[in-house]
Amino acid sequence: MKGFTVWFTGLPSSGKSTLARMLEKVLNDMDFHVEVLDGDEVRLRLSKGLGFSKEDRDENIRRISYVAKIVTRCGAVAITCAISPYREIRDEARREIGRFVEVYVKCTLEECISRDVKGMYKKALSGEIKNFTGISDPYEEPLNPEIIVETDKESQEESLSKIVSGLIELGYITKEKLRNVSL
Ligand SMILES: Nc1ncnc2c1ncn2[C@@H]1O[C@H](COP(=O)(O)OP(=O)(O)OP(=O)(O)O)[C@@H](O)[C@H]1O
Ligand SMILES: [Mg+2]
């Protein structure tokens, strides 16, 4: 089987990790080998010591992109879930990886703040932490992503189903294989 990368991008609390894990299960059930590169885990290991300046954020994404490229080349699926706020570096990852599907996890800032899964928006809004995407650091929306999910309007299942349909349309997975999988 040919590998590919699914690159989730979006604000904190938009739903990247949630959808990545759901997609991982679907693809596993289709007999793909899947590696999830989650920003939180990557920052504890591969990118340990990097901060949140533009330079460090770009370096973090370059490292994730490098691993995703290797996983893809091995015929497996890399799913990345990092905020990846800068357009230019996402486009660099796209060029480097080739078989690349950018999924924009779109959600209003207000909804993300009300979810505040990790309690970080609260800290950013009170000034306790600096350089927080959406509050005190920029987020550049993708201009031409392959797939957009709107998690402030859709259930998790609806968003997952949009992603799976998108992957079929783009030719990365087939309907036949999906038939064995319960969504
Ligand atoms: N359609 C949807 N898709 C994904 N998540 C959703 C959706 N609707 C509601 N949610 C909720 O939104 C939250 C998203 O949290 P999650 O940790 O996945 O965000 P994240 O983008 O990975 O954030 P971070 O960048 O901080 O890691 C979860 O609590 C999830 O249940
Ligand atoms: Mg996450």
Which ligand 1 atom lies nearest to the CA of residue 40?
27
Residue 81: pLDDT over 90: yes
pTM above 0.75, yes or no: yes
Angle at 79 between CA 108 and CA 102, to 5 degrees: 50
Mean pLDDT taken over the chain: 97
Q: Using one digit for the tens of pLDDT, what is the confidence trace for 84-100?
A: 999 999 999 999 999 99
Tell me 113's DSSP state.
H
Is the CB of 151 inside a 6 Å radius of any atom of ligand 1? yes
Residue 180: pLDDT over 80: no
**Which ligand ends up closest to the CA of 83?**
1
Cα(38) to centroid(ligand 1), Å:
13
Is the CB of 107 inside a 6 Å radius of any atom of ligand 1? no
pLDDT for the residue 97 = 98
Residue 82: closest CA among 24, 134, 10, 162:
10
> What amino acid positions are annotated as catalytic residues?
84
Complete DSSP assignment for 44-57:
HTTTTT--SSHHHH
Q: Using one digit for the tens of pLDDT, what is the confidence trace for 115-131?
A: 999 999 999 999 999 99
Q: Using one digit for the tens of pLDDT, what is the confidence trace for 50-75?
A: 999 999 999 999 999 999 999 999 99
**Could you give the CA distance from residue 88 to residue 69 in angstroms, rounded to a whole number?**
17
Cα(3) to centroid(ligand 2), Å:
23
Which tokens is 88 given?
A: 């230019």
Is the CB of 79 inside a 6 Å radius of any atom of ligand 1? no
Cα(175) to centroid(ligand 1), Å:
27
| Smallest CA separation from ligand 1 atom 26, residue | 12
pLDDT for the residue 179 = 81
Is the CB of 159 inside a 6 Å radius of any atom of ligand 1? yes
**Could you give the CA distance from residue 149 to residue 10 in angstroms, rounded to a whole number?**
10
Domains and CATH numbers, the chain: 4-178 (3.40.50.300)
